Amino acid sequence: MNLFALDWILWAGGFANTVVLFSILLYRGRWKGFPLFTLYTGYAAIITIVMYFVYRFASQAWYARCYYAFGFADGLLQIAVVVEIARIVMRPTGTWVRDAKKQFTLGAGIGVLLAVALAAAISPPTSDSFLSMGVRFGVFVGALICELFIVVAFTSNQLGLGWRNHVMSLILGWSAEQGTAIAVDALHSFFGTHFHYRDFDHVRMIVLQASQIYWMVQFWRDEPARRPIPPELAAYIRDLHIRVQKNLDTVGAQR
């Protein structure tokens, strides 16, 4: 299996970006707020090294199998990061905002069904059942992540929840990456392996690296300082929240 120069450049660039991003998350202390995203980034760096040695010492068939085998764990970690983002947005004080958990769970259930339908609809460009399952799982994860991001955005907007800058940058970068990945898989499914197959993969890799560079810049920067709420306003909001909660509980008990 021979890789063209561009493949090597993109592969090396992706590894370098991942290592730098992981280092920034650790050095700037962002891992405290995003432990699963930090874990995912470290996992991606390690797997890149492992896959390099698989490429050097194994066959093309084994490389493809290892790629999709590691991809299953990668996909599960990505879904875990989405749940982490939802927790940050919808649990600003450490507990779920009222109705946020119910709306997110309902939206996530619908998202799973839509992602399953999309994964079942594609035709992977391979006759190998394991590789075919890997392609479908990748499409399922990508679709589910995009849909969950939409659910998080819709729910937080409906409930009037604020978005921190680091969370917003993570969602924007990941949405661009996953949206591109879904489009590329759809093109592979439609055109097969004989029409710009490698070029489509290059587009996927370039968008991923652009997202990584964007994350590096954003996670290096501190989030803007928030203006402190005056004590009188804080007390008023706290009392109002307590009264609303009591009224809602009373109405719920009378139904």
Q: Please tell me the predicted confidence (pLDDT) of residue 121.
A: 72
Query: pLDDT at position 88, please?
Result: 79
Domain boundaries, the chain: 5-223
Look over the chain and give the mean of its residue pLDDT values, rounded to a whole number. 77
pLDDT of residue 92: 63
To the nearest whole percent, how much of the chain has pLDDT over 70?
69
**C-alpha to C-alpha distance for 223 and 168, rounded to whole angstroms:** 11
When comparing pLDDT for 156 and 69, which is higher? 69
Residue 1: what pLDDT? 46
Q: What is the pLDDT of residue 214?
A: 93
The larger pLDDT score, comparing residue 255 to residue 175, is at 175
Residue 81 has pLDDT above 50, yes or no: yes
Which of 53-62, 210-219, 223-232 holds the top average pLDDT? 210-219
Confidence of residue 161 (pLDDT cuts 50, 70, 90): low
Instruction: Collect contacts of 210-213 with beta carbons under 8 A, ≥24 apart.
Output: 210/176, 211/173, 211/174, 211/176, 211/177, 212/14, 212/17, 212/18, 212/21, 212/173, 213/17
Could you write out the DSSP letters of every residue in 37-75?
A: HHHHHHHHHHHHHHHHHHHHHS-HHHHHHHHHHHHHHHH
pTM: 0.74
Q: Is the pLDDT of residue 124 over 90?
A: no
pLDDT at 217 over 80: yes
Q: Which pLDDT does position 158 carry in this prediction? A: 62
